[in-house]
């Protein structure tokens, strides 16, 4: 991999529906060159899949983060699923696993259940990622389109129109809305172990000052090292970064700790990052079946 590959990945991670030509214009190469590099990264296993990341509050759900030690991923997920559905699973160098869990109700009770379940592994941390205030008003049409996009996030407008029996104009309008929604991200699943000279890493910053101001300062200072958009919760900002120097990882983490409004920051080197999609399908089914819909249908 070289810097252009990283730039292409950065673009796809932020919006995998962006065209090869648009990405090329932004980074200074042709659309054909972008297409060729994407094909090569896919063949080499750097790009594993295209996916949709939707924040749980969109469907009225809460999100817990559980940090545990233990190598048996299957066993960890089995225990976790007794509390809720997995939203995010990240095994980390050093035998740590971070799981984001969708919780439908009684969050504090679910935290206690999770603590009791995690007997075979050491529970390092468990906390609720409170909604930072992002709202998303999805219509029934939007949800129909999302259902198809879950199968192929890069599906062409004409194909989506055929599958949903909606007009291309309606599809285009809805896609524009979805891509502008902060709580919905068209992204990719990548393999962090195949970046060659580059090292993808994550810094979890706990905010004890003004959230918006702290986020603005972090973006200003570190946007040149961003691999993808930060994940946001009410008092946490998760920065996805990259470096070509192992020693710089600690240095950047220290700089994050020095940003006004950051109370503490922890460094993680992920071995894999996955976004299970089953919870979205189930959430859509439940919302459609419920008389008290979570979604703002119009």
Give the CATH number for residue 227: 3.30.70.1150
Q: Judge whether 100 and 81 are in contact, CB under 8 Å.
A: no
Q: Judge whether 95 and 265 are in contact, CB under 8 Å.
A: no
pLDDT at residue number 297: 38
pLDDT band for position 71 (50/70/90)? low
Half-sphere exposure (Cβ direction) of 110: Cα atoms closer than 13 Å:
23
Q: Is residue 12 part of a domain?
A: yes
Computed over every residue of the chain, the mean pLDDT equals 88
Cα–Cα distance, 290 to 295 (Å, whole number): 10
| pLDDT tens digits, one per residue of 83-141 | 889 999 899 998 888 888 998 878 888 888 777 776 666 778 888 887 767 677 888 89
Give the CATH number for residue 109: 3.30.70.2860
Mean pLDDT of 145-172: 95
Nearest residue to 199 via CA among 275, 112, 270 = 270
Determine phi and psi for 135, rounding to 5 degrees.
Answer: -115, 150
How many separate domains does the chain show?
Answer: 4
Q: Is residue 91 part of a domain?
A: yes
113 Cβ neighbours under 8 A, 6+ residues apart = 82, 83
Residue 298 has pLDDT above 50, yes or no: no
pLDDT at residue number 119: 65
Residue 182 has pLDDT above 60, yes or no: yes
Q: Are residues 170 and 217 in the same domain?
A: no
Q: Is residue 296 part of a domain?
A: no
What is the three-class DSSP state of 33? helix
The range of the structural domain enclosing residue 20 comes to 3-44
- The helix (run of H) or strand (run of E) holding residue 13 is helix 3-14
Give the CATH number for residue 146: 1.10.10
Q: Are residues 147 and 83 in the same domain?
A: no
pLDDT band for position 39 (50/70/90)? very high
- Percent share of the chain, pLDDT over 90: 59
């Amino acid at each position: 991999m070289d810097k252009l590959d990283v730039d292409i990945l950065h673009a796809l991670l932020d919006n995998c529906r962006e065209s090869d030509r648009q990405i090329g214009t932004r980074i200074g190469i042709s659309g054909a060159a972008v297409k060729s590099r994407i094909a090569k990264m896919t063949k080499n296993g750097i790009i594993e899949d295209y996916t949709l990341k939707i924040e749980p509050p969109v469907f009225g759900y809460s999100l817990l983060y559980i940090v545990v030690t233990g190598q048996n991923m299957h066993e960890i997920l089995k225990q976790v699923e007794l509390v809720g559905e997995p939203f995010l699973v990240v095994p980390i160098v050093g035998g740590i696993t971070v799981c984001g869990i969708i919780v439908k109700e009684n969050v504090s009770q679910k935290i206690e259940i999770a603590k009791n379940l995690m007997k075979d592994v050491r529970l390092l941390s468990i906390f609720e990622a409170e909604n930072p205030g992002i709202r998303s008003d999805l219509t029934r049409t939007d949800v129909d389109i999302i259902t198809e996009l879950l199968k192929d996030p890069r599906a062409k407008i004409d194909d989506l129109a055929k599958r949903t029996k909606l007009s291309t104009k309606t599809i285009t309008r809805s896609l524009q809305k979805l891509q502008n929604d902060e709580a919905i991200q068209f992204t990719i699943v990548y393999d962090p172990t195949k970046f060659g000279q580059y090292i993808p890493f994550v810094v979890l910053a706990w905010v004890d000052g003004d959230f918006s101001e702290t986020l603005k300062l972090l973006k200003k200072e570190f946007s040149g090292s961003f691999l993808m958009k930060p994940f946001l919760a009410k008092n946490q900002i998760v920065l996805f970064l990259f470096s070509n120097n192992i020693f710089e990882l600690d240095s950047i983490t220290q700089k994050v700790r020095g940003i006004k409004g950051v109370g503490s920051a922890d460094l993680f080197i992920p071995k894999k990052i996955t976004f299970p999609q089953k919870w979205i399908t189930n959430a859509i089914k439940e919302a459609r079946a419920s008389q008290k819909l979570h979604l703002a249908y119009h």
